């Protein structure tokens, strides 16, 4: 499992090898997957949405820090989106943060909140900003805001790295609204897909070639299904027929309220797919 993606970390140019050595980047293997980390890092950030992928990665990073006695804190960065259509997203991200902090009080440190006004979302205003580096590419307002706030946090809180838990689309499925940036196959993978260094700060995407079945299996292997149950991945909104009867609009929602899952968005289908693969995945993981 993950032989191909783990190998990407080991195919380095002379310059990349020098960077690895200079920053003492190590690989920590968890259930087959290599996760890069440096024992010299003092404070890192993780993008925590309130969904299952980012909560899982936050847990695994805490585990690496704790088990290797690394003196490093984790700041949680949440980009609050769609406050009028999915008003539960921000309170759920706080619940996940609190649960992680209870599990790892000496590691999980501060929570930083970015606010993205709905008008900037790709679905509302499209690709309206030219990329500052890749001049032939356009970006949506939400993408620019996420990248900009991450950069600001690096500067403001002196972060050594930021982790993002974007996973790969499930193989051999054709769920509606699959995102293209999650389609890349490991055979086409390069180091930049997994880890990028810029001025001594690292951006890490260790789940780039990991699908949801592995993520859901971690919750079972580490007996943290309570954390899984706190997360919410569904992107159904207040207009959905299964949600509207309970919460017709954002003014009807109060934190801790139970919100039905829509059952037909990409994230619901992906989660059901991962759950259906659970036994098979746990079996595969016995041999890694």
Chain residues in the site for Zn ion (CB under 5 A): 234, 236, 262, 265, 268
User: Using an 8 Å Cβ cutoff, are 217 and 278 in contact?
Assistant: yes
Q: Which residue, 57 or 265, is less far from Zn ion as judged by CB?
A: 265
Q: Taking the complex as a whole, how short is the minimal distance between the CB of residue 262 and Zn ion, in angstroms?
A: 3
**Cα separation, 70 vs 136, whole angstroms:** 41
Q: Which residue, 33 or 268, is less far from Zn ion as judged by CB?
A: 268
- Sign of the four-CA dihedral 259, 262, 266, 268: positive
**147, two tokens:** 């990248």
Q: Taking the complex as a whole, how short is the minimal distance between the CB of residue 242 and Zn ion, in angstroms?
A: 9
Q: How long is the chain?
A: 288
Q: Which residue, 53 or 197, is less far from Zn ion as judged by CB?
A: 53
**3-class DSSP assignment, residue 109:** strand
User: Using an 8 Å Cβ cutoff, are 59 and 220 in contact?
Assistant: no
Q: Which residue, 70 or 265, is less far from Zn ion as judged by CB?
A: 265
- Run of H or E including 6: helix 3-8
Q: Which of 139, 136, 116 is nearest to 127 (CA)?
A: 139
Q: Taking the complex as a whole, how short is the minimal distance between the CB of residue 95 and Zn ion, in angstroms?
A: 18
Q: Which residue, 107 or 268, is less far from Zn ion as judged by CB?
A: 268
Q: Taking the complex as a whole, how short is the minimal distance between the CB of residue 261 and Zn ion, in angstroms?
A: 5
């Amino acid at each position: 499992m993950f032989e191909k993606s783990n190998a990407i970390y080991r195919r380095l140019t002379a310059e990349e090898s020098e960077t690895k050595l200079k920053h003492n980047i190590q690989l920590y293997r968890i259930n087959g997957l290599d996760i890069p980390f440096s024992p010299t890092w003092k404070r890192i950030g993780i993008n925590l949405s309130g969904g299952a992928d980012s909560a899982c990665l936050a847990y695994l990073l805490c585990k690496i820090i704790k088990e290797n006695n690394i003196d490093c804190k984790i700041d949680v960065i949440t980009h609050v989106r769609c406050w009028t259509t999915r008003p539960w997203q921000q309170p759920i991200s706080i619940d996940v943060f609190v649960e992680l902090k209870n599990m790892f009080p000496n590691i999980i440190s501060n929570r930083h909140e970015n606010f993205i006004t709905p008008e900037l979302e790709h679905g509302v205003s499209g690709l309206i900003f030219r990329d500052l580096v890749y001049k032939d590419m356009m970006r949506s307002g939400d993408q620019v805001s996420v990248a900009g706030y991450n950069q600001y946090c690096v500067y403001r809180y002196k972060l050594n790295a930021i982790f993002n838990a974007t996973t790969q689309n499930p193989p051999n499925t054709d769920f509606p609204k699959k995102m293209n940036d999650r389609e890349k196959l490991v055979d086409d993978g390069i180091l930049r897909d997994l880890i990028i260094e810029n001025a001594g700060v690292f951006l890490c995407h260790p789940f780039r070639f990991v699908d949801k079945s592995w993520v859901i299996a971690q919750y079972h292997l580490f007996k943290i299904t309570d954390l899984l149950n706190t997360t919410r991945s569904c992107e159904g909104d207040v207009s959905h027929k299964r949600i509207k009867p309970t919460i017709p609009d954002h003014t009807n929602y109060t934190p801790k309220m139970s919100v039905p899952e829509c059952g037909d968005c990409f994230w619901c289908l992906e989660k059901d797919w991962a759950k259906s693969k659970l036994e098979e995945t746990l079996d595969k993981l016995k041999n890694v």
